[in-house]
Amino acid sequence: MSSISSDIKPKKHYEILDGLRGVAAILVVAFHIFETFSGGNRFIQIINHGYLAVDFFFLLSGFVVAYAYDDRWGNMTQWEFYKRRLIRLQPMVIMGMIIGAVFYYFQASDILFPQIAGMPVWKLILTMFIGFTLLPIPPSMEIRGWGEMHPLNGPAWSLFFEYIANILYALIFRRFSNKVLSVFVLIFAGLLINYTVFGPKGDVIGGWSLNLEQMNVGFTRLLYPFFAGILLSRLGKLIHIKGAFWVCSILITIILALPRFGDENSIWLNGLYESFVIILIFPVIVAIGAGGQIKSAFSTKICKLLGDISYPIYITHYPLIYWYTAWVVDNKVSIQDGYVLGIGVLIASILIAYLCLKLYDEPVRNWLQNKFQKRKIA
């Protein structure tokens, strides 16, 4: 093992940011459960802006990556950086694909997923192994019918872009001064506004398919929040208020739960809202979360638990959503008749995430850290 890694000291967590990541992850699950009853109509979706949690995650990731690594490049190689990011993220990517493969045949649906019933096992296994690498699958190879780049576990698309962001940071953006980085962040903000306000849909929904349109959405969603998070961390302009975790949790819940703005004839209104949230409000929330302090033992425990399960929840819950959606659609279940099972899906998602964390993710990461790192980075 290179002596380089022995000089890298672990840094403290931003506990409130960990907790906020968990709040957003649970809201994503709730959003996907309610989405089942929307019939694909984004104008009536309950927890209408739940998908913005992904953009919040990108901002958090940029902030945390810069905080953790910006001052370490004198003692760390690029490979050391990639290795640490892989150890942190990749074990649960693999588990998410395994869970997706296990649940796959239980999600067969005459209406939604008619091709599942006749899908050969070898193709399922091949898709799972490709998923382990996070390499995107083109629509021609897709085994579900939704055109997803990761058809066994749809949300893995955002991890694909997360990895791209980490590579861009290590190769290029870490070398930029704050002034140069600010110019790029402004350009990325302009691209975001152009797509949301002047684009065809009035929202940032998308990014999960390997085609030109969806890749454009994915990069538009990625570039501003991730690199704005890096800039925010470098500037160090934090906001100090009392009860920061609870204030920020309420703000995130309201932002994600608000109904859609405008209608089919004024989609720009919703695009304006989403641009405002991503460009201004999310950075303010992160600045408050990073600048806040937790003084009660209860809040500390809540933030730690939410932070611990946030990533496992996000990357393992969607196989349950595929199944739940197929059940609702095939049986024409109303929200009044399906909400109890929906609550069960939410609880099951949290339980599966916790079991994966304790029985798999933490032991595997500890083993990898002991084998490939002399020091752990929290």
**Rounded to 10 degrees, what is the CA torsion of 38, 39, 41, 42?**
50
What is the distance between the alpha carbons of residues 238 and 185, in angstroms, rounded to a whole number?
18
Residues 6+ apart with CB under 8 A from 205: 42, 51, 217
| Whole-number CA gyration radius for the chain | 20
Residue 300 parent element (H or E): helix 297-316
Is the sign of the CA dihedral 214, 217, 221, 226 positive or negative? positive
Short-list 244, 248, 204, 257, CA closest to 27: 257
Helix (H, G, I), strand (E, B) or coil at 221: helix
Are residues 191 and 221 in contact, defined by beta-carbon separation less than 8 angstroms? Answer: no
pLDDT at 2: 34
Average pLDDT of the residues in 75-94: 95
Are residues 349 and 316 in contact, defined by beta-carbon separation less than 8 angstroms? Answer: yes
**Better pLDDT: 278 or 376:** 278
Are residues 173 and 340 in contact, defined by beta-carbon separation less than 8 angstroms? Answer: no
Average pLDDT of the residues in 350-367: 97
pLDDT at 39: 87
* Confidence band of 376 (pLDDT split at 50, 70, 90): very low
- 110-113 contacts, C-beta under 8 A, 24 or more apart: 110/330, 111/326, 111/329, 111/330, 112/145, 112/325, 112/326, 112/329, 112/330, 113/144, 113/145, 113/322, 113/326
What is the distance between the alpha carbons of residues 334 and 138, in angstroms, rounded to a whole number?
34
In this structure, how many other beta carbons lie within 10 angstroms of the beta carbon of residue 378? 8
What is the distance between the alpha carbons of residues 336 and 341, in angstroms, rounded to a whole number?
10
What is the distance between the alpha carbons of residues 283 and 268, in angstroms, rounded to a whole number?
22
pLDDT tops 80 at residue 331 = yes
Give the start-to-end residue ranges of the domains of the chain.
Answer: 3-372
pLDDT at 1: 30
What is the distance between the alpha carbons of residues 179 and 171, in angstroms, rounded to a whole number?
18
Residue labelled with tokens 């490979």 = 79
pLDDT digits (tens, 9 = 90+) for 233-290: 999 999 999 999 999 999 999 999 999 999 999 999 999 999 999 999 999 999 999 9
pLDDT tops 80 at residue 308 = yes
pLDDT at 9: 59
pLDDT at 130: 97
Q: For residue 170, which amino acid is it?
A: A
